[in-house]
Amino acid sequence: MSTPIQHDFRSDTVTRPSQAMRAAMASAEVGDDVFRDDPTVTQLEAVMAERFGKEAAVFLTSGTQSNLVALMAHCGRGDEYIVGQQAHAYRWEAGGAAVLGSIQPQPLNNQADGSLLLTEIEDSIKPDDSHYARTRLLALENTIGGKVLSLEYMEAATALARRHGLATHLDGARIFNAATALDTPVATLTRSFDTVSVCLSKGLGAPVGSVLVGGAPLIAKARRTRKMVGGGLRQVGILAAAGLYALEHNVARLADDHANAATLAKGLAAFEQLKVTTPDTNIVFVEVDSTIADDFKTHLAARGIGITSTYSATKQRWVTHLDVDRAAVENALAAVRAFFSGR
Ligand SMILES: *Cc1c(COP(=O)(O)O)cnc(C)c1O
């Protein structure tokens, strides 16, 4: 039998709602949100629109659904969006935009810093010619793989897109992590995007939910598509209440997650068999020497340290979040030290 996970670094999606968050959920005022009668959802949407300096917002079940309805708001059948090879909206969402939206991706390689080269974006925009799909949208992601795209880069990329008549979408699942790392308000960071998708269920610690913000006509289209894909929910204020609680209590503390990730990375980097990338935010990638990778993985699992090594034991991902505190980081590093002291 496998050891239960005690310190869970697999993802910032594993957080459980705190007692205080559950109390906020339990006392939420609710109504039928498909009738727009749920005051707590309406409040969350208003708070998010204001926080991001956009006209409107819509509450969605997940980041995947949020990206899907955004892409379908911008693009019609036979249109194309430019996106990174590593982008969640392209790689990790079961091809939803193609399957459900008949939207063709034009993937470009992400650079080591997560960006797409402006020259490659420009070169990939198709001319108006019946051979080609119509290029309609540039979709970026921030943070991407835990890396932060700078405000300057995002503004240059969106300005380029606009010059060519493209709309712009930001997958900002972890935009509050980027804002924390850059010490810049989210409204400033995202001001040049037409739509932004934000996850409440990652580092912010809510159990469910994402919000798409943007101009009112686009958000109205997204709301219609949300209904089409089965995302029109009823007394969902109990979930919106968790989101409101998270926005109030769990944003400033993201800095703790970044500090814990830095401590973790520093501790891991002490061992030459571990090649550690210095984290910008809350995600630490580690390349493990192949001669020890399987043993190391087994050792950590046996000590209740949960990490992700999806493709192979040599590629680890450690994520810090509100349910792994400084003590969890110290415990994990002690387990790592124990492994290497035995060799
Ligand atoms: C997690 C994530 C999503 C999708 O969110 P789900 O709620 O898991 O569907 C989208 N984009 C990025 C960058 C993410 O990290």
Q: What is the pLDDT of residues 22-80, one digit of tens each?
A: 999 999 999 999 999 999 999 999 999 999 999 999 999 999 999 999 999 999 999 99
CA-nearest residue, atom 3 of ligand 1: 63
pLDDT at 1 over 70: no
169 lines ligand 1 (CB under 6 A): no
- C-alpha 272 to ligand 1 mean position (Å): 33
84 lines ligand 1 (CB under 6 A): no
141 lines ligand 1 (CB under 6 A): yes
Question: What is the tens place of the pLDDT at every residue in 128-145?
Answer: 999 999 999 999 999 999
pLDDT at 310 over 80: no
93 lines ligand 1 (CB under 6 A): no
- C-alpha 199 to ligand 1 mean position (Å): 7
CA-nearest residue, atom 6 of ligand 1: 63
Question: What is the tens place of the pLDDT at every residue in 159-205?
Answer: 999 999 999 999 999 999 999 999 999 999 999 999 999 999 999 99
Atom nearest to 87 CA in ligand 1: 13
pLDDT at 309 over 90: no
- C-alpha 197 to ligand 1 mean position (Å): 9
Q: What is the pTM of this model?
A: 0.97
145 lines ligand 1 (CB under 6 A): no
Which of 10, 12, 59, 64 has most ligand 1 atoms within 8 Å of its beta carbon, as the pocket-test mutant? Answer: 64
Which of 92, 140, 282, 319 has most ligand 1 atoms within 8 Å of its beta carbon, as the pocket-test mutant? Answer: 92
Structure confidence at residue 312 as a pLDDT band (50, 70, 90): confident
- C-alpha 146 to ligand 1 mean position (Å): 12
Domains detected in the chain: 19-249 (3.40.640.10), 253-341 (3.90.1150.10)
262 lines ligand 1 (CB under 6 A): no
Question: What is the tens place of the pLDDT at every residue in 283-306?
Answer: 999 999 999 999 999 999 999 999
- HEC per residue, the chain: CCCCCCEECCCCCCCCCCHHHHHHHHCCCCCCHHHCCCHHHHHHHHHHHHHCCCCEEEEECCHHHHHHHHHHHHCCCCEEEEEECCCHHHHCCCCHHHHHHCCEEEEECCCCCCCCCHHHHHHHCCCCCCCCCEEEEEEEECCECCECCCHHHHHHHHHHHHHCCCEEEEECCCHHHHHHHHCCCHHHHCCCCCEEEEECCCCCCCCCCEEEEECHHHHHHHHHHHHHCCCCCCCCHHHHHHHHHHHHHCCCCHHHHHHHHHHHHHHHCCCCCEEECCCCCCEEEEEECCCCHHHHHHHHHHCCEECECCCCCCEEEEECCCCCCHHHHHHHHHHHHHHHHCC
62 lines ligand 1 (CB under 6 A): yes
246 lines ligand 1 (CB under 6 A): no
Which of 62, 149, 226 has most ligand 1 atoms within 8 Å of its beta carbon, as the pocket-test mutant? Answer: 62
Which of 71, 199, 281, 319 has most ligand 1 atoms within 8 Å of its beta carbon, as the pocket-test mutant? Answer: 199
CA-nearest residue, atom 14 of ligand 1: 173
- C-alpha 319 to ligand 1 mean position (Å): 14
